[in-house]
Amino acid sequence: MSARPESQKKDGDALVMERDRLPVIALIAANLIPLVGIFLFDWDVRYLLLLYWLENLVVGAFTAIRMFSVGGIGALPMVLFFSFHYSFFCGGHGMILLGVTSLAGPENQEAPFQESGIPFLIPLELLGNTLAWIKLNMPDLLFVPLLAMVLSHAVSLIRHHWLGREDEGRKAQDIMSDPYRRIFVLHLAIIAGSFFIVSTGGGSAAPMLALLVGGKIWLDLRLHRKAHLDRHRKATSMDSDRTL
């Protein structure tokens, strides 16, 4: 296997940057919406943590779409496995956040948590309980802010997956691991920043929350750009290998 010329690599990267212009605009716009909540509706750090948790569900849904797109009906077992595993991951994360968020402000109402005791339903129950809590206590997150996240990731899916064909040659199991790396790094940074804000007594201080939003946008852009550049380079490399 021969390495691609450096000029070809640069040309490919420039193509990705051009293709990424609209997704980046959509990503920034979606991530700026929380500033409206902070400055006009007195959101505190809890709202940001749970909104970013909701974004995880959006990422998971679009990952499943990508898996089906490359694998067809044959990818169904892998999609089901991913849905179970990812639901467990997000559900556990959500329940932890419900405990953490009480540090940032007064206690809210409690949603009626459901427990069936059936093992394979635990991931869905964890997700359902977190969503029920948000619906009862922070229903405004489920409308414009969540819709903005959906539209942002939909634009990226169309531009990069379908038009840019970045996942061409990949298997469903390869795509399945994509969201975990980004979520782990991003949310580790978000939670660390949130704990710092809460520990300094700034859980509802607009300037500190705006800094958290700005930091999230910066890191999200870096992770987004790196992921798509890596996928494009890998897809291009596979195309080059097939022509040799």
Candidates 100, 108, 122, 117; CA nearest to 49 is 100
pLDDT tens digits, 171-183: 999 999 999 988 9
pLDDT recorded at residue 2: 46
pLDDT recorded at residue 27: 97
Cβ(173)–Cβ(81) under 8 Å?
no
Q: pTM for the complete prediction?
A: 0.89
pLDDT tens digits, 49-58: 999 999 999 9
Take residue 88 and report the two structure tokens written for it.
């467990």
219, 222, 228, 230 alpha-carbon torsion, rounded to 10°: -120
Counting as low any pLDDT under 50, the low residues of the chain are 1-2
pLDDT recorded at residue 160: 93
pLDDT recorded at residue 19: 87
pLDDT recorded at residue 240: 56
SS percent in the chain: helix, strand, coil, step 5: 85, 0, 15
Nearby residues of 144 by Cβ (< 8 Å), 6 or more positions away? 33
Distances (CA, A) of 231 to 29, 223, 237: 24, 12, 10
Residue whose structure tokens are 């990705």:
16
pLDDT recorded at residue 60: 96
